[in-house]
Each structure stands twice: as structure tokens, then as C-alpha cells.
Amino acid sequence: MSRFHPLSSTVKQIASLPFYWIDLMDANEAIALLQPYSSCDISDALHRLPSSDFGQLTDIHLISPSPLTHPDTRICGPAFTVEFVKSHAITTSTTSKLHHMDRVPENSVVVIKAPSGPNAVFGGLMAARAMALGVKAVVVHGRVRDRKELAEYGSSLPVFANGFSTLGASPFMKVGSSDHIGDGVGGSVTVPGYDSSDIGYPAVVVATGDLIVADIDGVVRVPICHVMQIAQICKQLVTADAHCMDDIKTGRSLTDAFAEHRKRPLQQ
């Protein structure tokens, strides 16, 4: 279903609510509010917020378990970020002796951002440690390896990534901070957007504590301060699309269904 239809007046009112209107909530409350909605639903809502960066982590897909055998895979949880940088960028002041996967909190979604390169930054040994710590899922802007080992964990540890490699991180990359603030673990990462002559899609900043929603369609980031707004907008949009689907299945045209339930014709 399209992500670009006009807003109803109700959705516009919700999207315009000031940030201070949002009550503070813990992660479990936020997760419960977003539970009914897919990554597509949430993307539809996110791009309706003022000054939104859309939230999608571009070109990251479900790697394990297979989307063909586990199409209902869906995770939602608080992000814990890890940043890799090129090895030559590391200084002694930006490194930690403790392995980054030993610092990950239980029930978190590990979000790893790596610079462009041919090597992996996540594999079987780190997956085993993540399982032992009770991590919900791992999202990698970069490559992973040890596909057989990742597959053995199946739905117990969903892994999302850009692709695969036989190469490990060393000697190409190490954990560290690109801005030399902190050691690259538990802070924030900037996932690049997409630029072409026709489309400009902004980079997305993922901060530790943001919510990550991921399923077979993709991965999106939701700041905690926007969760209530997003949930309310999703409810409006999903209801409208359900009415459209019912009409379309009975033979009604898209034009007529959209005109009634989305108020104005679809804009492509």
C-alpha cells in the first residue's frame, strides 16, 4: 500500500502535536503501542511528522531466519548502538578493552553501523554472545558472515543486514567513534540515506534507547518522544487502508476507494 497518500485532517492534527504533549513512557509501554503495526505502517506515519527523516534504515533486510520460511518475523525493542570505523582512524583514547558485545543490555536491539567495505562486522561468535545476553535482534548497516551459524539461531535471534562477506572485521575496521566522542558503543550512529538525481533521502540518526521496529519489509527507527504520535497516526492510516482493501476486493476501483477513505485521490 502506498506511503504517499494525503493526510486526513485528523492525522494532520495528531502529527502537529508539540513534543512536550507526549507523556514520558518506558520502553515496554512504547513497544506495546507499536505492537499492532508493521514497519510499512510506521514508515507511513513517520514521514508525516514535521521535519521527519522518515526513519527507514535503507537497504537493510532480514537475513536470518529466512523470510521465506519465517514471514511473520517481527521485532521491536530499544536500540543499543555500535559504530565501526576504519582501522587507521582508531586512537588509543577511543578504544575499550571490553568487547562491545559484552556490553549489550538484555532485551535490546543491537544496531551496528559500519563504513562501506567488503568485510563483515558480525558473525557466529558474536551471535552466540548476543543469544547468551538475551538480545532481541541485531541490525547491521554493513555485512555479516557465518550464515550457517546465524541460521541455527533462527527466530531466537533475528539478524538484519545489507549483505554477506567471508572476511572478518580485522584488519579493515574496529569499533570506535567517527566523531572521536566516546568509544563507539552505546551512543548514537548515523545511517546514511540515499541520494540520486531524482530523490534525496536523508541520513537517519539512531540513538541508544530509540525504538527499532523490523520485519520482512525492512527496519525503521522511532524516537521515544514520537511513539504516541506514531501509534495514533498508524491507527488512522491502517483503518483507512483496511476500508480501501475491502472495497478493492469487491471490484471497486482504486480511484473511488481512495477518494472515499483517503479523502483525495492517490498522489503517485
Q: Does 101 belong to an annotated binding site?
A: no
187 is annotated as contributing to ligand binding: no
145 marked as binding residue:
yes
123 is in an annotated binding site: yes
Tell me if 254 is assigned to a ligand binding site. Answer: no
For residues 137 and 240, what is the distance between their CA atoms, to the nearest angstrom? 31
125 is in an annotated binding site: yes
Kind of pairing between the strands at 137-144 and 120-122: parallel
Rounded to whole angstroms, the Cα distance separating 42 from 22 reads 17
Please report the sign of the dihedral spanned by the C-alpha atoms of residue 76, residue 81, residue 85, residue 87.
negative
**If you search the block for the grid coordinates 535482534, which residue do you land on?**
137
Quickly list DSSP for 155-219: GGS-EEEEEE-SS-STTTEEE--TTSSS-SBSSEEEE--EE-SS-EE--EEEETT-EEEEETTEE
Would you list which residues are annotated within the binding site for Mg(2+)?
Answer: 146
Which residues define the annotated binding site? 123-126, 145-146
Positions at the binding site for substrate: 123-126, 145
